[in-house]
Chains A and B, each alone.
Chain A
Amino acid sequence: DIALLFLSVVADILCEFLEVAIHLILYVREVYPSGIFQKRKKYNVPVQMSCHPELNQYIQDTLQCVKPLIEKNEAEKVVVVIMDKEHHPVERFVFEISQPPLLSISSETLLSHVEQLLRAVILKISVCDAVLDNNPPGCTFTVLVYTRESATRNMEKVQVIKDFPWIVADEQEVLMQEPRLIPLKTMTSDIVKMQLYVEERAHKG
């Protein structure tokens, strides 16, 4: 039971982290005007969070649907895709998540340590523009979830919000040809391991 409780807490922590990370990516990569962002403090570091209600709601709804998959250890990757005007991906921020077997989790497992590790990931995102090329104007974004098992089975689990349906993404539409791979950060804790890297299109146009 303690293990299941931990998975639920880990899903909460990860979704809160992903929310901060998505806002920060949208700010750093200039997907939206900087005027809608406000400086806030998360994990004891300054971050930029959107104040636009519609955008915030969209991100929250997305993550609320991702949470049950993380809770059941069924989300392999959460990917923030930035697309050009023609809806072709220019950058993919890939959060590769893996959780250890439930048996290895005990009441001694420290959750506070996880938050310290997540801070380091946030810091890396906030400076990632230094290693990425500028994006073309008019970019938009989407969030993808790579599930470990059959999508049709998991589809039911992600439809947790009425009026926020999910569909199976076409691989051709979300993949890039020969992307440049930029590792940003790897974090390893007792209860979750996460690797963040960016796949960047060679010629962004």
Chain B
Amino acid sequence: KSAGAHILKPLMSPPNREEILTTLLEL
């Protein structure tokens, strides 16, 4: 890792597996 490097990430999480399964079932 180079000096001065920093790590950024989105605050929000992606949809989780359960949410996606629910959508699939609704379809």
A residues with CB within 8 A of B: 31-33, 35-36, 52, 54-55, 58-59, 61-62, 65, 76, 138-152, 154-155, 158, 164-169, 171, 174
Contacts and interface: CB of A to CB of B under 8 A. Distances in A.
Interface of B: 1-2, 4-17, 19-21, 23-24
Contact of B6 (A33, A141, A146): A146
A150 B3 CA distance: 10
Contacts, number: 94
Contact of A166 (B9, B14, B20, B23): B9
Contacts of B12: 58, 164-165
A150 B6 CA distance: 6
A55 B9 contact: no
Chain A binding site: helix, strand, loop or mixed by DSSP?
mixed
Given A138-B17, A147-B6, 16 more contacts: A33-B20, A54-B15, A55-B14, A58-B15, A141-B14, A142-B9, A144-B9, A146-B1, A148-B5, A149-B6, A150-B4, A151-B6, A155-B8, A166-B8, A169-B8, A169-B9
A15 to B, nearest CB: 15
Contacts of B5: 76, 146-148
Contacts of A31: 17
